[in-house]
Chains A and B, each alone.
Chain A
Amino acid sequence: MALSPFASRSPSLTVASPNSALRLKASAVPRSTGQAVATKAQSNPERELTEQLNDDVRRKYTKGKKLGEGTYAIVYLGHFREDPSSCVAIKKIKVNAEYKDGLTMDAIREVKYLQELSHRNVIALHDVFSSKDQNLNLVLEFLPGGDLEMLIKDGDIHYGVGDVKAWMGMLARGVWFCHENFVLHRDIKPNNLLIAADGEVKLADFGLARSFADPYLNMTHQVITRWYRPPELLFGAKQYSGAVDVWSMGMVFAELLLRVPLLAGMSDLDQISKICEAFGTPTEENWPGVTQLANYVTDKAVPLQGRDFFLRQFPTAGPVGADLLMSMCVLDPRKRATALQVLQHKWWTAEPRPTKNEDLPRKSGTKKMGDDLARRGGDNDDGPFKNAARQLDFGGMK
């Protein structure tokens, strides 16, 4: 567990930690609530302490023009008051009049996980504050480079395998970090992969995220936008792992190479057929236990595709790249690569090298960021992409 001195490979690295943690803790405290509060208290006894703390956070930012609006949120450009040249995105979550049960699950999930995850390839949540009318404001990292979907769809943009390698590397590091923190993202797809001004890819939209369940506890299978949803979820598995995100990553990888979605099913059943056609039909032989899953169906028996298929289908990736993709698209989630195994693959060090961030193709996407962030988790409002897991099925959790 955390702070256990025992967990890691190198004792020399770890041994100092519990104590340095205590030291850090002691020194960290005055900066946080404790002392800040003590000085505040005298300055304004008329405000509740919590309100004062909230005011402090709110006053750190100024709100600028609107960047986008969805049913779920409005996104504004914002700035640090002390440094007006800096940019942040302020996502103001609308109070949902139809939802009577308080703050919605999407908002709770997003806030809960982003508060804990701090990594270069995960969108940063700088602060959260409330404004009048009990609105929740998330101060997020400003990502003006649009998203991967924009780049894939834009025929005027040309990119090569070095660029794909750079983007996929950043995605894989972000996903690995989530899993290392016991968080499943559950909605990885190109338009949730936003791009920073410096070209860095950031995993965004944690509206469907959750932490790993304890063994034997059920989770809902109604997650991940259909085209990126792995076979175990389509078959109704209630116990699953980080392998679901790895499948989605594989689909993004394929889409980056082909510049069209690899498996664009029209319905959940159609999605299963397309998976079978592409990779082979899941059977007890290649996936022990699969026939026991609640929604297991097959129509035609397609033999499992081998390496040749991937080499033929994705020539641009090169043989090593095709191997990596294949390892992410294994039907049986237990045999699929983990995020760590993806990162350890030799494709990353094979030629060509990943493109440097400053040389990656780019596009301005301020408006796109606004729209991406304003979407409800798992939702997607532009026409051809209306295939999202719109509502979580909580009935399935019982």
Chain B
Amino acid sequence: MIEDDIYRTSSQFRLWSYTESSLNTLRTTTNNIASERVRAALRRARERHLSATPSATGTPQPGSDAEEKDIECLTPEEELVLVRYYCEKTVELGDTYRPPLPTNVRATAIQYLRRFYLTNSPMTYHPKSIMACALFVATKTDNYYMSLRSFAEGIPGDTTPDDVIAPEFLLMQGLRFTFDVRHPFRGLEGGVMELSAIAQGQGKPAPHLPQHTPETLKEGILNLAPPAVPASSITDRIGRAHGATRELLKSAAQMTDAYFLYTPSQIWLAAFLIADRPLAEFYLDTKLGGPIDPSAMETDTSNTQNTLSELRTKLLQVLADCAALLQSYTPLSSDPDQMKSLKRIAKKLYHCQNPEKVNLKRDTAAPRLTPAGDGGTVTSESETERLAKKRKLEMESKQRGGHDVFGPELVPDRTRH
């Protein structure tokens, strides 16, 4: 049994690995379904509202004609931007705890969010209500246990334990009850340990590369082309590359589709290539052998060497693709243009949020016993009104509340109906 076989039995590989095109198809499908349902739900709400206020027929409803035409729903790309924004917020939320939540827990929570929104739309379930729950579930699944109460207390603002836990089951269902996330962090630590050992002349040559010895390995690592940022010693160089890679794994690897498209080891190796290319290539050479010397090609290359070289070429291509993906990432909050478009999306979402899914707590308190096919007229007319009012009040008090980890509301509040 080799490690690849083990990885292929993991839920991350079985359920959460995609090609670029299958990922796009899935997101488009999710978006289509959610858009349909939002339109239907808003139509129902309007009909109920009209039938409940017959006296209003004479006076035209402001805005209702415009809304009648068509509700503009989010596109899959817009949904993705929104989810990414809340993934960035998850990192910040993790920082508000004392001590801050471990990187692993935050990274798991982010992947939970990203997985959840493959088959759910932000129009149906607002990421703001899902993110805290994802982070709490990650503390449970990643062995960083804290009580729900102290978790909720750690969230700036007035989030209650009930707010946090309400979408738990929904989230877990969206995760298809797979909680294990394979991160690239451990692989990086292992690689760094190997390189440090090599630098100290204690490297272990790969059994299939008999030409390597601890001495030649040490000589190799000491004679590499210099890194982009000069380092004082090889230890310093490894340390810097380690730190830079870790930062990439904590940010770009989390906020892009890297986990869906690549394996944990591909991700850390790609990030390592960005951090210090000569060092990363040297590391690969200790495993796969260097490039084959073309002059020797005809004569004395063994089968193993050929296969390794072939593998090396393929792997480098995959790593280059992955590195390009990682480098394409810039944090939303540091980019005014992206923030501007985020605000526009948030505003749009405000108008196309599914009104029947707003109150998750109610869903939990009285679980819907709806059999398949129920259109979901779950809220009575008066209930809808009540919820709208409650929501308005909550939002107003939130705005007065000042500091909020989620930042100020992205759009000024506007009451529906």
Q: B196 within 8 Å of A by Cβ?
A: no
> Which residues of chain A have C-beta atoms less than 8 A from B32's C-beta?
41
Which single member of A38, A47, A50, A180 contacts B6 (CB below 8 Å)? A180
How far apart sit A181 and B10, CA to CA, in the bound complex (Å)?
Answer: 10
Known: A1-B268, A116-B10. A136 touches B177 (CB 8 A): yes
* Interface membership of A21, Cβ < 8 A: yes
Is B30 engaged at the interface, CB distance under 8 Å to the other chain? yes
Cβ of B265 under 8 Å from chain A: yes
A97 within 8 A of B: no
| Structural contact, B13 and A25, CB atoms closer than 8 A | yes
On chain A, the residues within 8 Å of B339 by CB distance are none
Looking at B311-319, B329-337, B344-352, the stretch in contact with chain A turns out to be: B311-319
In whole angstroms, how far apart are the Cα atoms of A24 and B10 in the complex?
14
Shortest B198–chain A CB gap in Å is 14
B372 touches A55 (CB 8 A): yes
Q: Report B9-30 residues with CB < 8 Å from chain A CB.
A: 9-11, 13-15, 17-19, 22-23, 25-26, 29-30
Looking at the assembled complex, report how far the CB atom of B153 sits from the nearest CB atom of chain A, in whole angstroms. 13
| A interface footprint on B261-274 (CB within 8 Å = 1, 0 otherwise) | 00111101000000
Q: Is the CB of A32 within 8 A of B14?
A: yes
Are B148 and A102 closer than 8 Å at their CB atoms? yes
**Whose C-beta in chain A lies nearest to the C-beta of B312?**
A5
Interface residues of B in 197-212 (CB under 8 A from A): 206-208
By size class, the interface of chain A is: 35 or more
Q: Which residue, B1, B176, B308, has most C-beta atoms of chain A within 10 A? A: B176
- A18 and B314: CB pair below 8 A? yes
Tell me, yes or no, whether B51 is within 8 Å of chain A by CB: no
- Cα–Cα distance between A4 and B311 once the two chains are bound (Å): 11
> Which residues of the other chain, B, contact A35 by a CB distance below 8 angstroms?
22, 25
Does A19 touch B at the CB level, under 8 Å?
yes
Provide the bound-state CA to CA distance between A12 and B314, in Å.
16
Give Cα A319 to B33, complex, Å.
68
Q: Is B301 an interface residue (CB 8 A)?
A: no
Query: From residue B155, how far is it (CB to closest CB) to chain A in Å?
Result: 15
Cβ–Cβ < 8 Å partners of B172 in chain A? 103, 136
Q: Which residues of B contact A17 (CB under 8 A)?
A: 2, 4
* In the complex, chain A residues whose CB is within 8 Å of the CB of B170: 50
In the complex, are the beta carbons of B314 and A19 less than 8 A apart? yes
What does DSSP make chain B's interface, helix, strand, loop or mixed? helix
Q: In whole angstroms, how far apart are the Cα atoms of A46 and B310 in the complex? A: 50
Decide yes or no: A49 and B120 within 8 Å by CB, A1-B264, A18-B315, A394-B145 being known contacts. Answer: yes
| Cα(A54)–Cα(B208), bound, Å | 47
Contact (Cβ within 8 A) B148 A38: no
Name B173's contact: one of A14, A46, A105, A130 (CB within 8 Å): A130
Find A2's partner among B7, B165, B208 (CB 8 Å cutoff).
Answer: B7
Chain B nearest CB: distance from A187 CB in Å? 16
Docked Cα-Cα span, A299 to B61, in Å, equals 86
- For residue B230, CB closer than 8 A to chain A, the reply is no
The answer to whether B25 touches A34 (Cβ under 8 A) is: yes
Closest A residue to B368 using CB positions: A132
CA distance A116 to B6 in the complex (A): 9
* Interface membership of B279, Cβ < 8 A: no
CB atoms of A21 and B8 under 8 A apart: yes
Q: Which residues of chain A (1-52) have a CB below 8 Å from chain B?
A: 1-22, 24-26, 28-30, 32-35, 37-38, 41, 44-51
Closest to A2 in B: B7
Are A3 and B177 closer than 8 Å at their CB atoms?
Answer: no
A-side contacts of B186, CB under 8 Å = 1, 214
Q: With A3-B266, A30-B22 in contact, is A45–B37 under 8 Å at CB?
A: yes
The reply to whether the CB of A164 lies closer than 8 angstroms to some CB of chain B is no
A128 to B208, CA, bound (A): 43
Of A107-115, A254-262, A365-373, the one contacting chain B is A107-115
Q: Contact between A3 and B29 (Cβ–Cβ < 8 Å)?
A: no
- By the criterion CB–CB under 8 Å, are A5 and B288 in contact? yes
Contacts A2-B264, A3-B3, A103-B172 hold; do A115 and B33 have CB atoms under 8 A apart? no
Residues in A neighbouring B33, C-beta threshold 8 A: 41, 45, 48-49
Residues from chain A with a CB closer than 8 A to the CB of B29 are 37-38, 41, 49
Besides the known contacts A1-B264, A29-B19, A34-B18, 14 further A-B residue pairs in the complex with CB atoms under 8 A apart: A1-B186, A2-B4, A4-B187, A8-B3, A18-B263, A25-B13, A30-B22, A50-B119, A51-B173, A54-B173, A102-B165, A103-B172, A111-B177, A134-B169
Q: Could you give 26 example pairs across A and B, Cβ below 8 Å?
A: A2-B3, A3-B263, A5-B287, A7-B3, A8-B2, A11-B207, A14-B2, A15-B307, A16-B311, A17-B2, A21-B4, A24-B8, A25-B19, A29-B19, A33-B15, A37-B26, A44-B373, A46-B376, A49-B29, A100-B161, A101-B140, A102-B140, A103-B168, A111-B179, A112-B180, A115-B179
Chain A residues within 8 Å of B, Cβ to Cβ? 1-22, 24-26, 28-30, 32-35, 37-38, 41, 44-51, 53-55, 100-103, 105, 108, 111-113, 115-118, 128-130, 132-134, 136, 180-181, 210-211, 213-214, 219, 394, 397
